[in-house]
Structure 1
Amino acid sequence: MAEAEAPPYPQPRTCPYQPPAGYREIAESGPVLKVTLFDGRESWMITGYKESREILTHPNLSSLRTHPNFPIVAPRFRSQIARSLALIAMDPPVHDTYRRYLNPHFSLKQVRRMRPEIEKIVSGFVDRIIAQGPPADLVPLLAVPLPSLIICRHLGVPYEDHEFFQDASGKVMLGTEEESATAAQNLVDYIDALVTEQIKSPTDGLLGRLVTERVLTGDIGHEELVSIALVLLIAAHETTSSSLALGVITLLEHPDQLAKLLEDRDRLPGAVEELLRFIATTDLVATRVAKGDIEIAGHLIREGEAVLVSGTLANRDAKFHERPDEFDVLRSDTHHVTFGFGIHQCLGQNLARLELEIAFRELFTRLPGLRLATDVADLPILGAGTVQRVLSLPVEW
């Protein structure tokens, strides 16, 4: 394929855990090529694993979404709120300052302290699934509420409001342009009220601690904390929820691999990494714009040009992974860029890994006969170019 052809991106999935068929052609034209976005504009796309890590640490790559050439991959990301998100839409030095404030609260040490509480929460959800009996839909019974409850506990957000922000965060990520903008504003208004209450009387959750440590000391302002909390609430819920559902489907559709996992549950952490590599829940790991020229893989990306980094394709780069399209829970080369790379690497990756590991362990230990109650081809899939999601996951046991 000639580079000038610039194939369309994104493209919808037809299988929950496999890339769209057209991505194979894109990968074969990589590791650096141009694609055409929904609005007709072109963007560079990085598909190689090595090249993805290289460009994600390049000093001339910018996350500022207010740049006129910043790549918008779907209409819903045009809104002012989406273009001014804390952390995600920031460059150093402001980004680095915010990360420094937040890193201790999401460190591996901090997350490990949360294991007993998460195990108790997961066990409770599985209790309710067993009590209801088959068939059961794991999306509303586990995949959606589990990460919601955990991030609520961590932030200090009232869980009784979880249905509101689950619905709103879903519309922000996967709704129409109007739905996304309205839902984002509703979330901002909701979090603004929470922050106001925390400033009056800080509690023990992360919001309260940030008020005490950063707002009352003058390090950050009220509106900055609202923007930070918005990002944490959406990111912690959407990606983990989708990864959990897609992970269950992938394991059930690969019974030989699930059997290996059940032989030795100590293999679970490695299996989680392989699932993260194989599924690539977030198709893109970066949308950026060049703030200076970038030379990479024999190509010149000029200042002001749009750049996308495909986690889906980088994670299946045949130059880096053996048998990249095979799902193998015993794989040793599970390295992936699903959480990004460089300064913008996902803040909540330790928490996401732990939630997935505990959820898979509990589900497949207590429901050893777990199986899909419908053909995988009949599962409703939503999402192209952002977070991949199944809307229902009926199972039996």
Structure 2
Amino acid sequence: MEVSRRRSGFGPAPDVEAVRDGAGIVRVPTPFGPPSWLLTRYEDVRRMLGDTTGFSNGWSTADLVGGATRDPRHLSGDGSGNLLSMDPPDHNRLRRMLTPEFTVRRMRRLEPRITEIVEEHLDLLERHGSPADLVSQYALPIPSLVICELLGVPVADRDEFQERTREQLDLTVSDQDKAELGREAQAYMTDLVERARRDPGEDLIGMMIREHDEALTNAELIGVANLLLVAGHETTSNMLGLGTLALLRHPEQLAAVRDDPESVPGAVEELMRWLSVVNSGSPRLATRDVELGGVTIRRGDLVSFNLPAANRDPGLVEEPERFDISRPASPHLGFGHGIHHCLGAPLARMEMRIAFPALLRRFPTLRLADEEIAWASDHAIYGLEELPVAW
């Protein structure tokens, strides 16, 4: 597996930790062509993510020395609307249109519906009875339904929509099958956008069309919808599954999340830091020679980074390996940094702040039903294959 994605339990893989605690920056092979510099220390990763003139997201395979076998950033289509493969000013133009839809105030409109979705799935869990798989019956469906609400996906399409997204993020799926899944996602989103053009609803796509109709192409709307689906679905799903396991392994902190509402925001931030389910963002291309962490990165070099290692860097917090929801909030990189900081962070935080305590209050005796943990290490977003629980 690509070095930037290797994991071990809740944290980074030992060889990635060894890089952070040693050289900090090393040259590693990639599965899509040329080698890349791997950044593992907090300050180096943060500085690189904040430097959009020195490190480009908007490169093409033609910019790489020796070319590349594929572009790791494109989910489907030609990359239109995919903020992860864009630089200013194109990135800023599109993000400026999207940002108002993701303010805390706008997200609060979704709060009653999120609470409803959470309660519905708690009822389903209760009816199913103990034991149950928390991943498939709670952690996966809740963020999926929230994204469907956000994008205006019809109820009848939601099961297929959710399954396709999960397969797109599975690293064991062949390039050929991944390309086919991308075409299917593109075709579905094309139909969704065309329907919204004819009759814009109250969902995000409908609002974007009403407010920015002339400024947005269909390709950009489709790309935005695809990105939000992938970026906002499995990330929060895996945080709910992995986060519940982390709390079960730390019973005193679980009790605080269950019983003390004031502890919940801090718990969400510490879980984001300690778990870092997004192993790495899109690789960057150096646009000039840059000195970083004592290494000269040359113009044209590819740069990748490991967020779990960076978020457990002693340079960020004291005793970084210790999980502690009472620690002061840190500027962790769980949502990225700089102009590509996660647009949906307010939504993800809201989902977690609702879903964790609601689960623990409904099932105060929640416990693991099996100590054998099935880690989903072959997914682009780290998490669990399943989490058998009992109560």
What is the CA-CA distance between 1:364 and the residue it aligns to?
0.5
Letter in structure 2 aligned against 1:163: D
Partner residue in 2 for 1:81: 76
| Counterpart selection for 1:305 from 301, 312, 323 | 301
Letter in structure 2 aligned against 1:60: G
Letter in structure 2 aligned against 1:358: I
Inter-CA distance 74–274: structure 2 relative to 1 (3 Å threshold): farther
Inter-CA distance 109–227: structure 2 relative to 1 (3 Å threshold): same
What is the CA-CA distance between 1:395 and the residue it aligns to?
0.6
Letter in structure 2 aligned against 1:134: S
1:159 and 1:73 map into 2 onto residues whose CA distance is: 40
Inter-CA distance 60–100: structure 2 relative to 1 (3 Å threshold): same
1:387 alignment partner, SS class:
coil
| Counterpart selection for 2:56 from 59, 62, 80 | 62
2:301 and 2:83 map into 1 onto residues whose CA distance is: 21
State the percentage of identical aligned residues.
34
Matched, 1:116 2:116: no
Letter in structure 2 aligned against 1:389: G
Letter in structure 2 aligned against 1:194: L
2:64 and 2:275 map into 1 onto residues whose CA distance is: 26
2:373 and 2:316 map into 1 onto residues whose CA distance is: 33
Partner residue in 1 for 2:384: 390
Matched, 1:132 2:132: no
Give me the TM-score of the superposition, normalised by structure 1. Answer: 0.91
Provide Cα deviations, 1:57-89, integer angstroms capped at 9, x if missing partner.
Answer: 212111125234669999793868377251111
Partner residue in 2 for 1:379: 374
Provide Cα deviations, 1:348-372, integer angstroms capped at 9, x if missing partner.
Answer: 0000011011100100011111111
- 275-284 or 78-87, which moves further after superposition? 78-87
| Counterpart selection for 1:347 from 338, 343, 348 | 343
Contact 2:16 2:40 in 1 (8 A): no
Partner residue in 2 for 1:367: 363
1:236 and 1:70 map into 2 onto residues whose CA distance is: 29
Provide Cα deviations, 1:102-148, integer angstroms capped at 9, x if missing partner.
Answer: 00000111112322221122111111111111111111211111011
| Counterpart selection for 1:233 from 206, 229, 232 | 229
Contact 2:29 2:35 in 1 (8 A): yes
| Counterpart selection for 2:332 from 330, 336, 340 | 336
| Counterpart selection for 2:27 from 7, 11, 34 | 34
2:359 alignment partner, SS class:
helix
Partner residue in 2 for 1:48: 41
Matched, 1:19 2:12: yes
Partner residue in 2 for 1:210: 208
The 5-angstrom pairing of residues 89-238 of structure 1 reads 89-174=85-170, 175-215=173-213, 218-238=214-234
| Counterpart selection for 1:246 from 242, 249, 252 | 242
2:83 alignment partner, SS class:
coil
- 28-37 or 355-364, which moves further after superposition? 28-37
1:74 and 1:389 map into 2 onto residues whose CA distance is: 28
2:7 and 2:26 map into 1 onto residues whose CA distance is: 21
2:136 and 2:258 map into 1 onto residues whose CA distance is: 25
Inter-CA distance 349–283: structure 2 relative to 1 (3 Å threshold): same
Contact 1:10 1:37 in 2 (8 A): no
Contact 1:143 1:241 in 2 (8 A): yes
1:44 and 1:153 map into 2 onto residues whose CA distance is: 39
* Number of equivalent positions: 386
Contact 1:76 1:173 in 2 (8 A): no
Partner residue in 2 for 1:3: none
Inter-CA distance 380–316: structure 2 relative to 1 (3 Å threshold): closer
Contact 2:72 2:282 in 1 (8 A): no
What is the CA-CA distance between 1:196 and the residue it aligns to?
1.0
1:345 and 1:33 map into 2 onto residues whose CA distance is: 24
1:94 and 1:11 map into 2 onto residues whose CA distance is: 29
Inter-CA distance 116–75: structure 2 relative to 1 (3 Å threshold): same
Partner residue in 2 for 1:279: 275
Letter in structure 1 aligned against 2:56: S
2:283 alignment partner, SS class:
strand
Contact 2:257 2:357 in 1 (8 A): no
Unaligned runs of 5+ in 2: none
